[in-house]
Structure 1
Amino acid sequence: MEICVDNIESALIAYKNGASRIELCSALELDGLTPNIGMFKIIKSLIKIPIFIMIRPREGNFCYNQLEIESMKEDIKIFKEMYADGFVFGVLTKNLEVDMEINKTLINVCHPVSATFHRAFDVVKNPLQALDSIALLGFDRILTSGCYDTALQGNNLLTELIQKTSQTSDNIKWPIIVLASGIDRNNLAKILTATKCQELHSSCRVKKLSEKKENFDHYSLPDASIITKMIDIAKEFNLL
């Protein structure tokens, strides 16, 4: 059970309520960007589960120019020196295919730290071909909703991906398929029954009202009861 967070309070809630791993980013409302270093340092000092770092320099598409690639490399180097446990990124070509050259460069910078190909996968032109490319590159995981807005909608492709990656091969190490997007305590059992997945990704967030009287804006945090309920469901399926 990986919980994606974009602030310190969220990371602590996830950790204290049984998350297996944290994906740390900034700007979850933009589907996650590279987090700031200070936040990571504080969280790293407070929790004892792996922290994967989102490496995404801007919102929008996943086709980056050379300066953006250089900034991604520098971010990886900095977080790696600070003992990040993994990195989450993905680069596509203009034709919506996996960019073999640039992703390989970034994986080499990550080495030997784990690398996850993020939901750029969900906009590729040919998902099964992209899976082969990502496996050849050496990614350990793929974060995906099955090329739909939610994992429940992408059920069929997710099942196909998991079935393919469960096959043993002497020539290739398949990445773990991590299910993401729209997964909650109400649909988790159905998704697990259909896909037989190994890993899940969710924010488990609910909107809260700011406690400051002068600020009545809402903000989102993981909900402890949602996390624990989803973990209980996962345990019923021998996932955790």
Structure 2
Amino acid sequence: MVMSPVRAGTPLLEICVDDADGVAAVVAAGGDRIELCGALGLGGLTPSAALVAHAVASGVPVHAMVRPRDGDFRYDAADVALATDEIRRLATMGVAGVVVGAMADDKRLDLDILARWRDAAAGIAIVLHRAIDLVADPVAAVEQATALGYDHVLTSGGAATALEGADVIAQMVMAARGRLSIIAGSGVSADNVATLIARTGVDAVHASASVREDWGDSRVLAMGFAAGPRRRTSVDRIAAIRRGIGEG
């Protein structure tokens, strides 16, 4: 297994970003790891090669999202082939890991696809993302991810937010038994991070730490150039979550 660096004794803080300003904010505020995506407004897609190179150059460990399209996580052969190629390419670009997920149907992980992607990511860490929150039994799915050789699982415990799913996340941590890292994500903020860590025992948390931008020009939305207002990664919010972790 290829585990990304963590700070001994203190839960790691991972921030998801989708632009160069977000990378700079993580560096400025002292985030431990970047989950790098394209189009966070669509739930996160595979980032561009230039953005990956920029993030890697920051010196902060980078986990790059590999998601070939928006929508659900039931992929056809073309989607799988494209994502597999992306994983192999990213593994040569200096990322610490990749973030993936695939469903066989509405309630089961696609273990065959996930195994193929684990093989493609040889030499770097691989994360099962919140597709696990769609399965019928997220706790049992931790055992499946472990058996496949995954290194991390990002989860909200099957709930809308990690705090709402805290009891299930705690069970997932127990099921992992240190064989992989459980990362709590969704709705994580400075106000709840200490409680979340105390209730779950996770060794990493995941947040966007973002604020909504005021664009001013409504034509951007009206002409279909965006699905909604952009959110900007906030140095102050990252720092506040960091302080909240220290209070846990």
- TM-score normalised by length of structure 2: 0.87
**1:1-240 → structure 2 map (5 Å cutoff):** 1-45=13-57, 47-94=58-105, 96-166=107-177, 174-210=179-215, 218-237=229-248
Distance in 2 (alpha carbons) for counterparts of 1:128 and 1:99: 16
Shift of 1:128: 2.1
The 8 Å contact of residues 91 and 123 in structure 2, kept in 1 or not, is answered as: no
Distance in 2 (alpha carbons) for counterparts of 1:73 and 1:132: 23
Give the AA of the match of 2:135: V
Residue 26 of structure 1 aligns to a residue whose secondary structure is coil
Distance in 2 (alpha carbons) for counterparts of 1:164 and 1:74: 32
Residues 116-150 of structure 1: CA deviation (Å, up to 9, x unaligned): 00000000122122111111001100000000110
Give the AA of the match of 2:40: L
Bigger Cα displacement from structure 2, 191-200 vs 145-154: 191-200
Residue 81 of structure 1 aligns to a residue whose secondary structure is coil
Distance in 2 (alpha carbons) for counterparts of 1:114 and 1:62: 20
Distance in 2 (alpha carbons) for counterparts of 1:222 and 1:8: 10
Aligned-residue RMSD, C-alpha: 1.9
Residues 20-43 of structure 1: CA deviation (Å, up to 9, x unaligned): 000001111111111111111222
Distance in 2 (alpha carbons) for counterparts of 1:218 and 1:74: 32
Shift of 1:67: 0.6
Distance in 2 (alpha carbons) for counterparts of 1:62 and 1:55: 11
The 8 Å contact of residues 14 and 31 in structure 2, kept in 1 or not, is answered as: yes
Shift of 1:218: 4.7
Segments of 5+ residues of structure 1 without an aligned counterpart are 168-173
Distance in 2 (alpha carbons) for counterparts of 1:52 and 1:123: 22
The 8 Å contact of residues 210 and 218 in structure 1, kept in 2 or not, is answered as: yes
The 8 Å contact of residues 188 and 233 in structure 1, kept in 2 or not, is answered as: yes
Distance in 2 (alpha carbons) for counterparts of 1:74 and 1:195: 35
Give the AA of the match of 2:195: K
Judged with a 3 Å threshold, the aligned counterparts in structure 2 of structure 1 residues 94 and 218 are, in CA distance, closer, same or farther, namely closer
Higher relative contact order (CA 8 A, sep 6+): 2
Give the AA of the match of 2:37: C
Give the AA of the match of 1:163: M
The 8 Å contact of residues 98 and 134 in structure 1, kept in 2 or not, is answered as: no
Shift of 1:58: 1.0
Distance in 2 (alpha carbons) for counterparts of 1:146 and 1:218: 28
Bigger Cα displacement from structure 2, 77-86 vs 51-60: 77-86
